[in-house]
Chains A and B, each alone.
Chain A
């Protein structure tokens, strides 16, 4: 048991101790305990605290995770246990010291909420299991035991016999799968895909009628962000231009629909569909106006200029200068929804239909574009500008075209967004919107449609569904982005090369060269 073994475990224990302290300081421990209690079916009223048992459970799980991650993969079982022991003890000691402070706060009745807003006495009591002075010892014991448990679990699950067991299960499953494949009748093979699409279509038709307006709202939001993601993907993923002000095009579409369809400030009432077209057109015009002067710039400069452009649009929309024209900071209310064949077509169910149809259309257009001559030219420009130019690809035109097409998608999404909310204001088009869309691409996987859908669902859908974590969702989101970039930079659902280049792509990947899904400039 030499020094080399002890010091990483010590460090790890210390790190996790600090993480836990931050958890306590922002009251995240109580939140997790509440979620756990909900998971076990306990009914927790908003604002009340969960049972102490769930806090204990959370701390045990945390300790087990520490033990699991501290024991190195290739060490002997005794070494693993030793590592876990050291980490658990360190974690326990760190938190024990922290407990002493917390206990002092409770005993003296000091309220620190003026500075540390989340540190309520009740949640401190919960964290200390309401045991006062002996809670440091309790925590020390708990974390040590839990860490050892985690390590034991790792030893058991990663042992020879366990891995043999898993392999057996896997091969059995594969055998079953093969058998099933062999037994499927011919017509299923032939029409299976078609039937699947039909099923999805039917589901998409009937589900919005059944599952209530809240789910429609969430699905609509995810769908809009998928459209936005596809638009940005054309700019960033296909043609390789880093764009940080995408929300500006979104704003163009939203404001066109809003200004042409609301009683105030102009009362034009043009109708939804023509104004949506105008919105798309306006976004394209904005893209040309932005693109022509800045197109020749290098990556980072382009990023900052587009970021500046996004901010310019937002500030202009907000400013007094244009208040009479755009409604100023208060935005535009009572935007009239779309009509179809003379009938109002603007219930939440209808919007879900519109968004789903537009989404499918966007995906179709994107797929066609990606495989077209232009799409391949974009990829060439992205991979190597000079070589692309030498082979006769016009850099300027292609880049500008990508920008315009991406902007058109954004304008489309913006128009639907404004009509659906019946409101749009400058705050709908903040920098965070652009960042969110970019993050959807990155988290899901650049140039990958399933990835974009998955990313939109993860980043926009999940936070809407998990309302409990409302306060923490941006925190989790930010942390998730960093962790994703470190552990899985190609995204949750990375792209595969299109069929034409498939074999070559696989070969390249084996050599360690970047695949198409990468983000190389």
Chain B
């Protein structure tokens, strides 16, 4: 019979990819554990002081990553876009801080004791404060302008388009900085109070090691900033409107929230955090050039995804975790330090395999895309 109704072909959803994913993840995980076991238990050639040193550097880098990652997460939560140029905003902040320190270092006068000192050494706190304020302001301004010029006209466009625009802005800013300030790698001039490489000496298991002043400054400041931001988002009116806009733009607009204003303010806040992170990066690592924002930017984005993009505590956690993985991981697994970036990305893939929405998941907005 030609007109016979055939039963519809059944399409069963294949379990294979999920299975492969799990097997892949388990293999890599068990490899990690095996390496950890061999390095720490079997070989056991590292003394506790080495671990403490790595931990300290991990925490410091992690703090910087967290600050930048928050910027990614805030923007993603509200606009659902990857602000690819965020690393460049950080780079601009680093340069601003650099120029402040150059300026304060150039102003020299005779102090009461008769020595010739520069402003940055005579008033270290003032100059550091100034550097952070200027760095944060400049970075916030550039974040604001970035949104206004490159993203706002694309608010209604499909999602790939703002991403390309962001990539373009990132390339543009990088090359602008290169043309303006030359591709030279410059040295940050820290005030003597927080000179690089100096710090408090402590003794761990009989070995002396230093906790760098710049590291302490970076870590504590990033914790303070993160706490301030978190309180702001939870408690303040702006934070409330930010969450509202993240949840639903049109409803938020109906409730009398100035959506464009809130988005602008989000970019300003994320720019401020990136600027602070930039100055910290300069103070701690001491190098500033046009490419300085790129890798931290990518890493920070990775950490934002790691913690669950759109989730502020997730970004903080992800940043800290990525910093630790990068600094402790290569030693703990007994692999070359060159491969720390590979390790970071592999961890990211593993986490995404087992928890596709990041460690803490998306909280800022419930909307699924």
The answer to whether residues A475 and B298 also contact, given A439-B164, A482-B150 and a CB cut-off of 8 A, is no
The answer to whether B17 has its CB under 8 Å from any CB of chain A is yes
Does A41 lie at the interface of the complex (its beta carbon under 8 Å from any beta carbon of B)?
A: no
Which chain A residues numbered 352 to 384 have a C-beta less than 8 Å away from chain B?
Answer: none
Q: Which one of B18, B168, B172, B175 has the greatest number of beta carbons of chain A within 10 Å?
A: B168
Bound complex: CA A489 to CA B154 (Å):
9
Asked if B341 contacts A301 (CB within 8 A), the reply is no
Interface string of A495-521 (1 = CB under 8 A from B): 000000000000000000010001111
Q: Hey, which chain A residues are within 8 Å of B160, CB to CB?
A: 236, 242, 442, 519, 521
Assess the B305–A301 pair: CB atoms within 8 A.
yes
Report how far A518 CA is from B156 CA in the complex, Å: 13
Say yes or no: A482-B21 contact (C-beta < 8 A), given A26-B180, A293-B349: no
Q: What is the chain B residue whose CB lies nearest that of A485? A: B165
Verify B157–A489 contact, CB threshold 8 A: yes
Asked if B302 is at the interface of the complex by the 8 Å CB criterion, the answer is: yes
Residues of B within 8 A of A474 (CB): 171, 174-175
Residue interface bits A320-344, CB-to-B below 8 A is 1, else 0: 1100000000000000000000000
**What is the chain A residue whose CB lies nearest that of B347?**
A308
A478/B349 in contact, CB under 8 A: no
Within 8 A of A (CB), among B142-168: 149-150, 153-154, 157-165, 167-168
The reply on B173 being an interface residue by CB < 8 A is yes
Write the nearest CB–CB distance from A380 to chain B, whole angstroms.
Answer: 14
Contact A472 B352 (CB under 8 A): no
B14 interface hit (Cβ, 8 Å): yes
Measured CB to CB, the closest approach of chain B to A226, in angstroms, equals 19
Q: Decide if B180 touches A482 in the complex (CB within 8 Å).
A: no
Residue from B165, B336, B341 within 8 A of A482 (CB atoms): B165
B180 touches A116 (CB 8 A): yes
Q: Which B residues lie within 8 Å of A303 (CB)? A: 82, 163
Q: Take A117-B180, A298-B369, A300-B309 as given contacts and tell me if A439 and B349 are in contact as well, using a CB distance cutoff of 8 Å.
A: no
- The residue that B345 contacts in the complex, of A242, A292, A308, with Cβ under 8 A, is A308
Distance in angstroms from A155 CB to nearest chain B CB is 27
Q: Specify which chain B residues have a CB less than 8 angstroms from the CB of A442 in the assembled complex.
A: 160-161, 164
Residue ID in chain B nearest A304 by CB atoms: B305
Q: Is the CB of A489 within 8 A of B161?
A: yes
Residues of the A chain whose Cβ atoms lie less than 8 Å from the Cβ of B336 = 319-321
B112 interfacial by beta-carbon distance below 8 Å: no
Chain B residues, CB < 8 A from A298: 356, 369
Q: Within the assembled complex, what's the spacing in Å between the Cα atoms of A146 and B342?
A: 56
A435 in the interface (beta carbon within 8 A)? yes
B132 CB–A CB distance under 8 Å:
no
A434 and B353 CA atoms in complex are apart in Å by 24
Residues of B within 8 A of A485 (CB): 150, 154, 157, 161-162, 164-165, 168
Question: Is the CB of B232 closer than 8 A to any CB of chain A?
Answer: no
Determine if A304 and B339 form an interchain contact, defined as CB atoms under 8 angstroms apart: no
A78 within 8 A of B: no
Q: How far is the CA of A19 from the CA of B114 in the complex (A)?
A: 46
Q: Determine how close the nearest CB of chain A comes to the CB of B306; give it in whole angstroms.
A: 10
- Does A124 reach chain B (CB closer than 8 Å)? no
In the complex, how many residues of chain B place their beta carbon closer than 8 angstroms to a beta carbon of chain A? Answer: 62
Question: Which chain B residues in 73-109 approach chain A with CB under 8 Å?
Answer: 76, 82, 99, 102
Within 8 A of B (CB), among A283-334: 292-301, 303-305, 307-309, 311-312, 315-316, 318-321
Give A321 Cβ to nearest chain B Cβ, in Å. Answer: 6
B42 interfacial by beta-carbon distance below 8 Å: no
Flag if B164 contacts A315 (CB, 8 Å).
Answer: no
- Which residues of the partner chain A approach B167 to less than 8 Å between Cβ atoms? 435, 438-439, 481
Nearest CB of B to A174, in Å = 34
Residues of A within 8 A of B150 (CB): 482, 485-486
Q: How many angstroms between the C-alpha atoms of A117 and B175 in the bound complex? A: 13
A109 at the interface (CB under 8 A from B): no
Q: Given A26-B176, A481-B168, A486-B154, are A293 and B11 neighbors across the interface (CB < 8 Å)? A: no
CB atoms of A438 and B170 under 8 A apart: no
Give Cα A294 to B356, complex, Å.
9
Q: Once the chains bind, are B349 and A479 in contact (CB under 8 Å)?
A: no
Q: Is A396 an interface residue (CB 8 A)?
A: yes
Partner of B356, one of A297, A316, A397, A480: A297
Picked from B18, B169, B179, B298, the residue with its CB within 8 Å of the CB of A472 is B179
How far is it, in angstroms, between the C-alpha of A27 and the C-alpha of B178 when the chains are bound? 12
Question: What distance in Å separates the Cβ of B91 from its nearest Cβ neighbour in chain A?
Answer: 14
Within 8 Å of chain B (Cβ to Cβ): is A218? Answer: no
Cβ proximity bits A460-503 to B, threshold 8 Å, 1 near / 0 not: 00000000000110110111111011100100000000000000
> Residue B9 at the A interface, CB < 8 A?
yes
Residue interface mask B312-354, A partner, CB < 8 A = 1: 0000000000000000000000011011011011101100110
* A47 contacts chain B at the CB level, 8 A cutoff: no
Residues of B within 8 A of A297 (CB): 352, 356
Chain A residue numbers with a CB within 8 Å of B181 are 115-117
A486 and B82 alpha carbons, distance in the complex (Å): 17
Are B14 and A396 interface neighbours, CB within 8 A?
yes
- Verify A394–B14 contact, CB threshold 8 A: yes
Q: Which among A117, A480, A514 has the highest number of chain B CB atoms within 10 Å?
A: A117
A392 at the interface (CB under 8 A from B): yes
Q: How far is the CB of B169 from chain A (nearest CB, A)?
A: 6
How far is the CB of B190 from the nearest CB of chain A, in Å? 18
**Chain B proximity mask over A192-213: 1 for CB below 8 Å, otherwise 0:** 0000000000000000000000
Q: A115-B99, A296-B21, A472-B179 are in contact. Are A312 and B342 (CB under 8 A)?
A: yes
- Whole-angstrom CA separation of A396 from B346 in the bound complex: 22
Query: Does A242 contact B24, Cβ atoms closer than 8 Å?
Result: no
Q: Tell me if A25 counts as interface (CB < 8 A to partner B).
A: yes
Say yes or no: is A269 at the interface (Cβ < 8 Å to chain B): no
Interface membership of chain A positions 110-121, coded 1 if the CB is closer than 8 angstroms to chain B and 0 otherwise:
000001111000
Contact A315 B171 (CB under 8 A): no
List CB contacts (< 8 Å) of A433-454 with chain B: 435, 438-439, 442
Q: Does A22 contact B (CB under 8 A)?
A: yes
Q: With A242-B163, A319-B338, A486-B154 as known contacts, state yes or no: A481 contacts B349, CB within 8 Å.
A: no
A293 engages B25 (CB within 8 Å): yes
Across-interface contacts of B342 in A (CB, < 8 A): 311-312, 315-316, 319
**A293 to B345, Cβ gap below 8 A?**
no
A299 touches B168 (CB 8 A): no
**B164 and A307 within 8 A (CB):** no
**How far does the alpha carbon of A482 sit from the alpha carbon of B153 in the complex, in Å?**
10
Q: What does the 1/0 interface line of B293-305 toward A look like (CB < 8 Å)?
A: 0000010011001
> Is the beta-carbon distance between B172 and A475 smaller than 8 angstroms?
yes
Residue of A nearest to B24 (CB): A293
A392 neighbours in B (Cβ, 8 Å) = 9, 11
Q: Is B182 an interface residue (CB 8 A)?
A: yes
Complex contact B172–A482 (CB within 8 A): yes
Specify the chain A residue showing the minimal Cβ separation from B179.
Answer: A26
Q: Are the C-beta atoms of A482 and B149 separated by less than 8 Å? A: yes
Interface membership of B20, Cβ < 8 A = yes
The answer on a CB contact under 8 Å between B369 and A299 is: yes
Q: In the assembled complex, which residues on chain A have CB atoms less than 8 Å from the CB atom of B102?
A: 115
Taking CB atoms, residues of chain A closer than 8 Å to B18 are 296
Known pairs A242-B160, A303-B82; A478 contacts B169 (CB<8 A): yes
Q: Does A293 lie within 8 Å of B305, measured CB to CB?
A: no
Is the CB–CB distance between A22 and B176 below 8 Å? yes
A312→B169 CA distance, assembly (Å)? 25
B20 surroundings in chain A (CB, below 8 A): 292-293
The 3 residue pairs across chains A and B that have the minimum distance between CB atoms: A481-B168, A478-B172, A117-B182
A-B contact pairs, 24 of them (CB 8 A): A27-B179, A115-B102, A117-B180, A294-B353, A296-B17, A297-B352, A298-B369, A308-B348, A311-B298, A311-B345, A312-B345, A321-B335, A396-B16, A439-B164, A442-B160, A474-B175, A477-B171, A478-B169, A481-B167, A481-B168, A482-B150, A482-B169, A485-B150, A486-B150
Q: A293-B353, A296-B21, A482-B165 are in contact. List 8 more A-B contacts (CB 8 A).
A: A26-B179, A236-B160, A292-B24, A303-B163, A315-B338, A315-B339, A394-B11, A482-B169
